[in-house]
Chain A
Amino acid sequence: MPDEHRVPRDPGELPPFLIGNEGRRFGWTKMTVQQATTEANLLNLLIVDDERVVREGCRDVAQALGFSTFTAENADQAYKILESTSVDVILLDLRLPGIGGLEALRQIKQRRPETVVIVVTGYATVQSAVQAMKHGAYDYVTKPFNLDELRLLLDRVTGHLKLTTENRILREQVKTRHGFGGLVGRAPEMERLYRIITKAANSTHPVLIMGESGTGKEVVARAVHFTGTYKEKPFIPVDCGSLVPTLIESELFGYVKGAFTGAQHSKPGLLSMADGGTVFLDEIGELPIDLQSKLLRALQEKEIRPVGGTKAVPINVRILAATNRDLEQAVQQGTFRRDLYFRLNVLTLRIPPLRERKQDIPLLVGHFLERAERGTGIQRNISDEALKLMLAYDWPGNVRELENCLDRACALTSGPTIHMGDLPTTIQNWHVQTQAPLAPQAAAVIPSNGIVPIAEMEKHAILEAITRLHGDKLEAARLLGIGKTTLYRKLKEYGAAI
């Protein structure tokens, strides 16, 4: 492909006509050009035209407007570019050598339904225009056109794409009300994460998702896949941490009949089954070193060799990987291949732990209670004390721990309100551990020898619990882990008001 090339954008090298006196003739003031450049800066444009001068002229103008440009002189070259690059806009000549422009349009829309295709033709007819629009063309223009008309066209498509992206983000936000693509949270760290997910979704590069256990790495991976271009294609999660190495290998790469005992039929690997979709490798840090090299080879050569097979199978898959381990440290320690780390670490998404975004806890609680309501039909709420306790807790298990905690509380609580006593003892104990020193009047009397009788400690614990729970003895009994009859008996012994 001698003519296929990518021209890196460099807004600093705008041709003088875009910012000089002459630019004003076309209304291309410095401000509008800079604005256009900023807007178009994120967009990849592919020009498919068999006429070299047209191809290169359009490329130069688009490049000056801030597009990243690619060129192809026929449909086959265009397909190859589309396989490796996320193209936003295509200028497609209707009459191409070999396969016709309309057929090329059909195939492009099949491979990349979200790509905006502008059909360009030297002899326009109503019939071909109708056909082009039926096949999903965004616009249909007739040659010859001049520089200014080309700029208008590109400006229009830039505006359209900007609007489409904004709509997509808004739609996702509306879908979850409190977050993005299944994620819940409005903390600044989460807003930043949503922005990066949107960008990652529009690219085809591997993404490394990092976060502590329970932060929602798979949810993020799903958000990347399902808000992206290939959302109609399969999303295949593989947990590298829970499968034995031999099973991971046969699952990822497939096997041929007779490869091992029990392999009665050939089975395609998940990497080939994804077929244009995404494979999500969870806990990639747990992947054995020999499989790491095999995976690296598959990513580099875009082909896999099934277990026991001799023939390579081509793959077309996007890899999303996640880990809760420090991969850089693993690389230093020699347990993770450096080259694979660099191959996967093209885009990195870091999910903040829940303790760093505690302001999202009420939103998350509301979200999980709503979800529980959808399942059980019972509307529940949470008491202020219980919520305060949850806000004070550090959630080492992150969102997953919060989710489990609420599921458990919903199952345990008898009324519509979740109280402190319905929360797991770990959280309640946390509360007790982090409490300020007890008030002198409530504190157990410590004898001069420093030894407190167990009975005295028990009395103090019971009375303190009832005081803190504003007299709710049932909750106090639950919290203390004793039966309500025992509690009443003890209170009678202490001579306390029942």
Chain B
Amino acid sequence: MPIVTNPGRVDSGERQILEIRQQLHDLSNVVTGLLITAGLLRHFVPLTGNGGRYASDLESSAERAATLVTELRVGVHQLQNVVGAGADEARAVERTNLCDVRPSLGQRSGED
């Protein structure tokens, strides 16, 4: 359990995490656009030749970016829990629980 010695510092940490979360949200948007467009492109471009290879590579990279975004989100969330735990003690507020509900995964929530 982290010991909070400076509440002001905790607030600042939380603000930073909030900013990162907002950037993560934007990044998720960008990666979603990339994933869908790459998917569409891959199916419109003939498989043979460089065009097909580039489209396939683009889709793979987009998939990889999506995985990284998910991992990053989990990382930020863990960080938030570390910082937030101290603030919780100080302010007795409920922590935010991350959830990941992707269509292929079904209704799964509460990954904490």
Contacts and interface: CB of A to CB of B under 8 A. Distances in A.
Interface string B18-34: 00011011111111111
Contacts of A17: 40, 42-44
B35 interface: yes
B16 interface: no
A126 interface: yes
Interface string A36-61: 00000000000001111110011011
Interface residues of B, number: 42
A122 B101 contact: no
B35 A147 contact: yes
Contacts of B66: 144, 146
Interface string B85-112: 0000000000011111111100101101
B28 A143 contact: yes
Given A17-B40, A142-B99, A149-B103, A122 B26 contact: yes
A119 to B, nearest CB: 9
In this complex, which of A122, A129, A144, A149 has the most chain B Cβ atoms within 10 angstroms of its Cβ? A144
Nearest to B21: A123
A455 interface: no
A383 to B, nearest CB: 61
B102 to A, nearest CB: 6
Contacts of B26: 122
A258 B112 CA distance: 68
Nearest to A17: B43
B103 A153 contact: yes
User: Max chain B CB contacts within 10 Å: which of A16, A93, A124?
Assistant: A124
B33 A53 contact: yes
B33 A129 contact: no
B36 interface: yes
A144 B31 contact: yes
Contacts of B62: 146
A400 to B, nearest CB: 52
A123 to B, nearest CB: 4
Given A15-B44, A141-B103, A123 B37 contact: no
B30 A57 contact: no
B96 A57 contact: no
B34 A53 contact: yes
B63 interface: yes
B29 A51 contact: yes
B104 A144 contact: no
Given A54-B29, A122-B27, A129 B69 contact: no
Interface in A100-147: 121-127, 129, 139-147
Contacts of B33: 51-54, 57
Contacts of A163: none
A20 interface: yes
B100 A124 contact: yes
A23 interface: yes
B39 interface: yes
A150 interface: yes
A189 interface: no
A95 interface: yes
Contact of A125 (B37, B47, B65, B99): B99
Contacts of A148: 39, 104
Interface string B42-80: 111001000000000000001101100110010000000
18 contacts: A17-B44, A51-B32, A53-B30, A54-B29, A61-B40, A123-B22, A123-B28, A123-B73, A124-B99, A124-B100, A125-B99, A127-B96, A141-B103, A142-B100, A143-B29, A146-B39, A147-B39, A156-B103
Given A53-B37, A60-B40, A127-B96, 5 more contacts: A50-B29, A54-B32, A122-B25, A122-B26, A147-B39
> 3 closest Cβ contacts across the A-B interface?
A17-B43, A53-B33, A147-B39
